[in-house]
Amino acid sequence: MVEWTECERATIKDIFAKLDYDSVGPAALSRCLVVYPWTQRYFSKFGNLYNAAAIMGNPNVAKHGKIILHDLERGVKNMDNLKETYADLSVLHSEKLHVDPDNFKLISDCLTIVVASRMGKAFTGEVQAALQKFLAAVVSALGRQYH
């Protein structure tokens, strides 16, 4: 189990308290599809992903981005129990969606960049480290049920 300092807990809760989920979620997912185009392989039913503009304006991408952020919130509320929190989603991504777990790191990096661009100077090295530790723990929990 991951050990969290009080400072890390407070930092994570603070970041998510200030985030506009419905904006950041779509921004992170669409950024991932632009920066790492091979991730589009999982979204063939989403419609037009032909270029960056199409991806950024795609309503299915936006909807899914919001779902992802709201699911991350569950992790923020259950930081000491991430494995159980994400067990169902892990099974879903493995057995139904067949997503290579390496992709979880890609979207997590894109989310970090989006949060950085929103928070600017407030996104210090320490804040970045805490967020990355949290996202890495979520990514690990999401990969746990793969076999």
Asked if 2 interacts with another protein (CB under 8 A), we say: no
User: What SS3 class is residue 144?
Assistant: coil
The answer to whether 11 and 131 are in contact (CB under 8 A) is yes
Window 117-146: residues binding another protein (CB under 8 A): 117-121, 123-126, 128-129, 132
Minimum distance from residue 55 beta carbon to another protein (Å): 8
Q: What is the pattern of x (binds another protein, CB under 8 A) and - over residues 83-122?
A: --------------------------xx-xxx-xxxxxx-
DSSP string, 47-70: ---SSHHHHHH-HHHHHHHHHHHH
Q: What is the DSSP letter of 29?
A: H
The answer to whether 3 and 78 are in contact (CB under 8 A) is no
**The one among 15, 16, 30, 107 contacting another protein by CB under 8 A:** 30
Q: What is the pattern of x (binds another protein, CB under 8 A) and - over residues 34-63?
A: xx----------------x--xx-------
The answer to whether 86 and 139 are in contact (CB under 8 A) is no
- How far apart are the C-alpha atoms of 79 and 76, rounded to whole Å? 5
**Contacting residues toward another protein, per CB under 8 A:** 30-31, 34-35, 52, 55-56, 109-110, 112-114, 116-121, 123-126, 128-129, 132
